[in-house]
Homo-oligomer: A and B are copies of this chain.
């Protein structure tokens, strides 16, 4: 389709003039399909090699601030560079600055997993380069997303009414749980304002252990009152503290608007009492949003679904396949129990986007379901993951990670210098050094200094602890043994 670039040009480029003299300009600077085939194979091989060696690299990048930038020139090149130079710089410039989230020694934060079928799905989506803002701009993007998210409703044991094929609810892929949580705060705000409330009076609720995206999403949506409520000994939201706060706010002339409950908090994996929060929400007309960003993946396994009892009365639910379901970032799912208020809040109809399909009402236009207008074909990689693993494969690996976490929990319990600060939740183990905060931080530092595994040092209610999150795609028992050696050795040096 295009001719290959030639490197012989001496085109002139005056900096500040409208007169441009181009001499011997090549016809095209584009990569041809044949070049793409050749370079693409080389890049696939580089990624496959990376998969093979990532376990041998130090998990945490070992660079100082400014070190990566210093390896780059100060300006974009004037002339095209050969593609081989770009690939070389993956090793020279990029890798030293990568913290390896795809290392099987990754036990930090939560996982942000990639997998073969997902990476290749992302490649095809980029190659197609189609836009899914409207059904009409590429029907496959919308319909495959519709269908795959309906599949997930069954996989996770969620309400049938959340399927777009059933309704009135439906699911949509967003970039992150922060985006989904922000959007439902906007919708809840608009519902309240439509009933006559002032934005300045609206109140949003979550627990003191809610993810930062809850307070942040509420503040970005303009909430002036955000209540982070008391938790019980298991770090779960206390329904009575919600009830009291709502009553106080009503008495103070404020407008209780939305509450978020968590299935699996970030700090310790605590599970809020979803059913009780749903009941309070219905009593007072609050929007009830459920944040299962990480633990939602475990709902593939029927034995964990008791933790989401009551979800059938929630107004929205968010879950990240890009955490623990082997689908590379970004791939967050938001389900709403009723899509009408979402669309009412976010819909616009500029003339350049009008089309017969939209006006027929027979299709979903996902631009009305989130803040961005454009959207890429993220459903493709999720579709490929579900098909490549099968439901059985997903359950197998989720259960394996949970069993490994339980094993770590048992060893912590048996170790005289260690104590759990919370029950093992799904695949998250939280513990500390019994000697105190300094020793706990020293232990975390010693574990991470091995560079073969990586854990998070955190704090809850001013108590320092170590978070071990099992769930990287390729983590196996051998990696957990490696982690345990680092813990056991570290206890010796820290204690």
Contacts and interface: CB of A to CB of B under 8 A. Distances in A.
A119 B130 contact: no
Interface in A26-42: 26, 28-37, 39-41
Interface string A99-120: 1111010000100111111111
A143 B69 contact: yes
Given A65-B357, A76-B154, A397-B29, A351 B123 contact: no
B387 A77 contact: yes
A189 B328 CA distance: 34
A146 B474 contact: no
Given A33-B52, A67-B139, A374 B40 contact: no
B1 A55 contact: yes
A328 B35 CA distance: 18
A186 interface: yes
Contact of A222 (B31, B222, B351, B473): B222
Interface in A138-161: 138-141, 143-144, 146-148, 151-152, 154-155
Contact of A72 (B104, B147, B345, B384): B147
Nearest to A381: B126
Nearest to A27: B476
A39 to B, nearest CB: 6
Interface string A68-101: 1100100111111101011000100111111111
Contact of A124 (B9, B47, B393): B47
Interface residues of A, number: 176
A393 B5 CA distance: 9
Contact of A1 (B51, B179, B350, B396): B51
A21 interface: no
A399 interface: yes
A39 B360 CA distance: 40
10 contacts: A36-B44, A36-B48, A36-B119, A39-B116, A44-B123, A47-B127, A61-B138, A98-B130, A101-B137, A352-B456
